[in-house]
Chain A
């Protein structure tokens, strides 16, 4: 056991003979604040450039180039920290705990992409996020994910966001940073399990466009919500849509909503009945989320070090644990009263239960609204990019014959051969054949 306060057991010498001077105790400075602001400036510049390239220039090549720059700068040079995905945890912690502050640069990283998403859609995902740029580079042959799987897996991201907010707001750690699969690749070092996860995601990403962004990224959920409201957005065709269906399979992230003009006729009465049932289900889901979230909160609180420590100290005091852990030994050495520890742990557990309930409500709401929106029949004349899911990568533009005409490029008569074998249609195969 080390005494926490050192004692001057040996008086420091005077050096009367030699007049020896004590060497100074200095250390290398931390990164200058101006450089931190430079990062924000680069982020702002990259966002503006990405918005211009995606919506105005409509240039896939330049967007990809900007993506490589972002990968090199925010990824390999800045080692992926601080990133916009992680910064939402700092903001959540500052909101949940009045004593925790959030540096201006971190706040800027968290909010600037959201502001851009509100105005221009997910241009951050297109070419500014190093995680997205890395996966975009790996994508060689996108395979369509069936819609039921796509919608199901996207719930993972919503759940991840909810859990991350629970842990961040209660001071229980930043799980988005802790389990980030790509930052170890940017650093060339990290926990083995995470490096394996990152490489596995990249291998999956050879065939499934951006698996992390679509199915896991918690920040993508927020960007998608903001992008739903966006003022300017990706339009596949620069002119009028001719329903030629050439763009149908061009999207690597499955974000193109097909035209409903030639969709099979459905029984309207049955649709209406289903919708009523699903709307009635929403309060049930919310109540279930509330209850389960509260239960989960109690268990999640055990992950917090104070709660964990209090339980351990309690066990030791009852004689259930023979020895001490490093943490309990360090706590005992401080001589703090045990009542304070228990009060702090109980307070934390209450906060976890509250946060868990909110998280449960959020997940229930997401599932309920997803079911309702899936049941609502929408009429859509044109092929359109889904505002929430479109990552503005600009791949679809060149598939549109109107775009080729605009650029003065030759318009192919038949669909490009690269599209063969890619199955993205969720409508009956027979119908597609009868059309052609």
Chain B
């Protein structure tokens, strides 16, 4: 029995050393003190709308956000209005957004400001598509970290056809669009 205990001790010691070696090998370059979260690279996003449906949450963790510094404050916003709207007003039939999640406010002639009501947004990407195709592309999609449960494998990242979703450092969890363009 004593010999067995000794052998067991030697083996478990070897195992611990092995784990230690694995740890040391990883630590050399690959271990990061900081965690990561998932984020959409808006410059790669094609607004296909899969974020709205593929997230493990019943209501996707993705929402539309607005980079105001890129926005042209257009009166005829192609992210806000249906193609060929009847009138340029806030009536529901003129709006592109299926849930009416974009607020349109007059600032000064001829500029209007568009803000996203995140509680209504379903991340369908319709406004993003409209704004990027015909406007400045200031509306874009981002994963919101009050909602995201940070799955080890993000299911919208798996479904994304443009490979736009990647892990980013948790300290800088957003990849907002800026005037400087893609980083």
B108 touches A15 (CB 8 A): yes
**Segment at the interface with B among A88-96, A348-356, A362-370:** A88-96
Q: Does B132 contact A (CB under 8 A)?
A: yes
Q: Which of B134-173 contact A (CB under 8 A)?
A: 134-138, 142, 144-146, 148-153, 155, 158, 161-163, 170-171, 173
Contacting residues, chain A, for B26 (C-beta < 8 A): 91, 94-95, 102, 107
Contacting residues, chain B, for A98 (C-beta < 8 A): 29-30
Contacting residues, chain A, for B88 (C-beta < 8 A): none
Q: Which of B1-59 contact A (CB under 8 A)?
A: 8-9, 11-12, 14-16, 19, 22-23, 25-26, 29-37, 43-44, 46-48, 56-58
Interface residue tally for chain A (C-beta within 8 Å): 74
Q: Does A7 contact B (CB under 8 A)?
A: yes
Within 8 Å by CB of B56, from A4, A190, A230, lies: A190
B19 touches A111 (CB 8 A): yes
Q: Does A103 contact B (CB under 8 A)?
A: yes
What is the CA–CA distance of A11 and B57 in the complex, to the nearest angstrom? Answer: 38
A103 touches B69 (CB 8 A): no
Minimum CB–CB distance for A349 against chain B, Å: 18
B65 touches A10 (CB 8 A): no
Q: Considering only CB atoms, which chain A residue lies closest to B14 in the complex?
A: A229
B153 touches A103 (CB 8 A): no
Q: Does A378 contact B (CB under 8 A)?
A: no
Q: Does B81 contact A (CB under 8 A)?
A: no
Q: Which of B70-106 contact A (CB under 8 A)?
A: 70-74
Minimum CB–CB distance for B35 against chain A, Å: 5
What is the CA–CA distance of A105 and B36 in the complex, to the nearest angstrom? Answer: 10
Q: Considering only CB atoms, which chain A residue lies closest to B170 in the complex?
A: A30
Within 8 Å by CB of B107, from A3, A10, A15, A231, lies: A15
B111 touches A13 (CB 8 A): yes
Produce 1/0 per residue, A216-244, CB < 8 A to B: 00000000001011110000000000000
Knowing A30-B150, A184-B56, say if A102 contacts B46 (CB, 8 Å): no
A231 touches B8 (CB 8 A): yes
Within 8 Å by CB of A7, from B8, B9, B58, B136, lies: B136
Knowing A9-B136, A98-B30, say if A119 contacts B12 (CB, 8 Å): yes
Q: Considering only CB atoms, which chain B residue lies closest to A18 in the complex?
A: B108
Within 8 Å by CB of B129, from A2, A36, A83, lies: A2
Q: Does A82 contact B (CB under 8 A)?
A: yes
Minimum CB–CB distance for A26 against chain B, Å: 8
What is the CA–CA distance of A228 and B66 in the complex, to the nearest angstrom? Answer: 56
- B contact residues, range: 35 or more
B68 touches A2 (CB 8 A): no
Contacting residues, chain B, for A8 (C-beta < 8 A): 70, 72, 136, 179
B152 touches A28 (CB 8 A): no
Specify which of A86, A105, A173, A229 lies most central, judged by the most chain B CB atoms within 10 Å of its CB.
Answer: A229
B142 touches A82 (CB 8 A): no
What is the CA–CA distance of A89 and B36 in the complex, to the nearest angstrom? Answer: 15
Q: Considering only CB atoms, which chain A residue lies closest to B137 in the complex?
A: A6
Knowing A10-B136, A102-B31, say if A177 contacts B153 (CB, 8 Å): yes
Knowing A33-B170, A118-B16, say if A13 contacts B35 (CB, 8 Å): no
What is the CA–CA distance of A244 and B13 in the complex, to the nearest angstrom? Answer: 35
Produce 1/0 per residue, A310-333, CB < 8 A to B: 000000000000000111011101
Contacting residues, chain B, for A417 (C-beta < 8 A): none
B107 touches A20 (CB 8 A): yes
A27 touches B73 (CB 8 A): no
Contacting residues, chain B, for A173 (C-beta < 8 A): 153, 158
B70 touches A326 (CB 8 A): no
What is the CA–CA distance of A2 and B15 in the complex, to the nearest angstrom? Answer: 54
Within 8 Å by CB of A333, from B23, B46, B65, B71, lies: B46
B72 touches A18 (CB 8 A): no
Contacting residues, chain A, for B151 (C-beta < 8 A): 81, 177
Q: Does A141 contact B (CB under 8 A)?
A: no
Q: Considering only CB atoms, which chain A residue lies closest to B157 in the complex?
A: A173
A107 touches B69 (CB 8 A): no
What is the CA–CA distance of A94 and B23 in the complex, to the nearest angstrom? Answer: 11
Q: Nearest 3 pairs between A and B by C-beta?
A: A6-B137, A10-B72, A326-B161
- A-B contacts, 21 of them at CB < 8 A, read A2-B46, A2-B133, A4-B46, A12-B72, A13-B73, A17-B109, A20-B108, A31-B35, A31-B170, A86-B153, A95-B25, A101-B29, A101-B31, A103-B34, A104-B32, A106-B35, A118-B12, A118-B16, A189-B58, A327-B162, A331-B162
Contact residues of A with B, CB < 8 Å?
2-13, 15, 17-18, 20, 22-23, 25, 27-31, 33, 36, 79, 81-83, 86-87, 89-91, 94-95, 98, 100-107, 111, 114-115, 118-119, 173-174, 177-178, 184, 187, 189-191, 226, 228-231, 305, 325-327, 329-331, 333-334
Q: A18-B108, A27-B145 are in contact. List 7 more A-B contacts (CB 8 A).
A: A4-B44, A4-B46, A28-B145, A31-B170, A95-B26, A118-B19, A119-B16
